Structure 1
């Protein structure tokens, strides 16, 4: 990998990146690119990719990558141990040699970080017990179930708890690495690195804006099922606690108790979550103005919709629509006049490119 200091190279802040068969390619290369790019602007990272056997690995995409060494080829003390993940985390944590590698190297590192499903390997090594941790939003419930001693947070792009830092899915490893660069070498070095890589210094919002929203299991109690179906069928309807209780055929107090027991939500929170998902679908489809989306989804006004979006997703409805409706807005095409006839040059738009 270009830009990585070879074994025996200059001594700096030693970063060991664990590689193994099935590892997600960007989990490895994203942070490595951040650290090695930061060296152009004043950082001093000595980045080594390591596997348990010292042999190269096949990544999740099928692309093989080489490594610098096995664990014995690393510096005795590490500044950072970074553990990527693989979507099939069960296979990763079942690899005893891999878990032992992570546990052993963690004792030599000043701090430990993981990307995406790498959090499962940290948990298997006992490094997340009693700590807050993040992982990919789709895997967060599985991490919480498999390792109940871990306090899983599903929304943040990365979470720091002491000297352990865990990040969300795939590209969030870049956000994580930039935060570590800033911590080690200051905001200016991190900012220049981010600009060169054409990424946000701090990405707006959290993981919730990428997630699929609330998908509660089918409740056992028929009253709760009737109410859920009623709300889902008409998100913009007038859904007061009294009217929902009437739909369920129970008292308002009993309905609230049933919702908390079955879903962990109040009826009002469930109504808001359904309306939020309805608004997201309308924004994704490009249907109407934000004010119209708010009305059709049941929020009444764009200001009410904005407050819920900011509180729940960390972004405004307008920003959400810009990011998720289409890629066309990011092309920044430059119009050019038609070329003179006979020149053999076709009319085209030139895309602006960022230069380091």
Structure 2
């Protein structure tokens, strides 16, 4: 454990209309970590958390309608910043886009020990020019957009959080807690981080990846194209032979021409599309049905337990049994008075 002589100032720079959890999650974790550090080594205020508005306003209105007071402006911070976290990002806010926020961000970066982003805050770091050739993550829905807009950034949106040097990026909203716990462990060790996780009833390291939350299938642009005409039949026959030859025959096309048109419409080969379609069906059955995993494999056309496990790991980075434990409906498990 490193010798601590002063509080570590954590500054969360928040965009308007962000989810409250992006602020509250890290705030509660760093507060609880300070308490745990005091109980263990007697050092008070190991962390101090300050929330400031990206647009210099004195209030941050969150997406839920809850307003957070932020009287301190980012330019008024006098104490050295240990960790700077960018929470949220407003894609259509001209006040932010036309401000000197990104100049400030690139200027402050060399002065902090580490800098990070929560969810789509990765876009702000990229716009400030801090992510060139860096490996990063962001919300799984926004990964493709980040890559399109910043092709010099290495995007892996399957991860909950990624560290590249002293730059830390996290995935979806709740990944703010995963990242914050990792920062606490980095600062004060596993024992303190575990203490925080236990108190807040969190995983120190959550199992799985963002991949398990996202949709595997693209949305074809041509609703009435080859895919549009065959999709219902494919879904109804997932437990049957869905080879290119069978799909082409059902579409009255040659296998070669069918494969070419299908790839153009969906961005995936027929075989890869069928695999992902079967995984999506299996996910739904694991979440909502009482079928055992072998029965799920059969109904989804995944052949066997071994094959299903391999395909789940390839597409979702999680086993079918772990997926069911994490996402199964709670309808039959919640006790009502």
Matched, 1:33 2:35: no
Taking the aligned partners of 1:114 and 1:251, their CA distance within structure 2 comes to: 49
* Change beyond 3 A, Cα 1:176–1:217: same
Matched with 1:276 is 279
- How many Å apart are 1:112 and its aligned residue? 1.1
2:169 aligned to 138, 157, 166, which one? 166
CA RMSD of aligned residues (A): 2.8
Matched with 2:93 is 91
Matched with 1:13 is 8
SS at structure 1 position matched to 2:130: coil
- How many Å apart are 1:131 and its aligned residue? 2.1
- How many Å apart are 1:54 and its aligned residue? 6.2
- Does the aligned pair in 2 maintain the 1:99–1:124 contact within 8 Å? yes
Matched with 1:354 is none
- How many Å apart are 1:172 and its aligned residue? 0.8
1:294 aligned to 297, 310, 314, which one? 297
Matched with 1:127 is 130
Task: Please list every run of 5 or more consecutive structure 2 residues that lacks an aligned counterpart in the other structure.
Answer: 39-45
Deviations 1:101-139 (A, max 9, x none): 433332322221111121121122122232222111222
TM-score by length of 2: 0.84
- How many Å apart are 1:30 and its aligned residue? 0.6
Taking the aligned partners of 2:331 and 2:201, their CA distance within structure 1 comes to: 18
How many residue pairs match? The answer is 324
Matched with 1:206 is 209
- How many Å apart are 1:144 and its aligned residue? 2.4
- How many Å apart are 1:297 and its aligned residue? 0.5
Task: Please list every run of 5 or more consecutive structure 1 residues that lacks an aligned counterpart in the other structure.
Answer: 1-9, 334-347, 350-356
SS at structure 2 position matched to 1:159: strand
Taking the aligned partners of 1:129 and 1:329, their CA distance within structure 2 comes to: 48
Matched, 1:69 2:64: no
Matched, 1:115 2:118: yes
Matched, 1:240 2:243: yes
- How many Å apart are 1:95 and its aligned residue? 5.1
TM-score by length of 1: 0.80
- How many Å apart are 1:201 and its aligned residue? 0.6
SS at structure 2 position matched to 1:81: strand
- Does the aligned pair in 1 maintain the 2:218–2:267 contact within 8 Å? no
Taking the aligned partners of 1:145 and 1:229, their CA distance within structure 2 comes to: 32
- How many Å apart are 1:260 and its aligned residue? 4.8
SS at structure 2 position matched to 1:89: coil
* Change beyond 3 A, Cα 1:59–1:97: farther
SS at structure 2 position matched to 1:83: strand
- Does the aligned pair in 2 maintain the 1:291–1:302 contact within 8 Å? yes
Taking the aligned partners of 2:13 and 2:234, their CA distance within structure 1 comes to: 47
Taking the aligned partners of 1:120 and 1:91, their CA distance within structure 2 comes to: 13
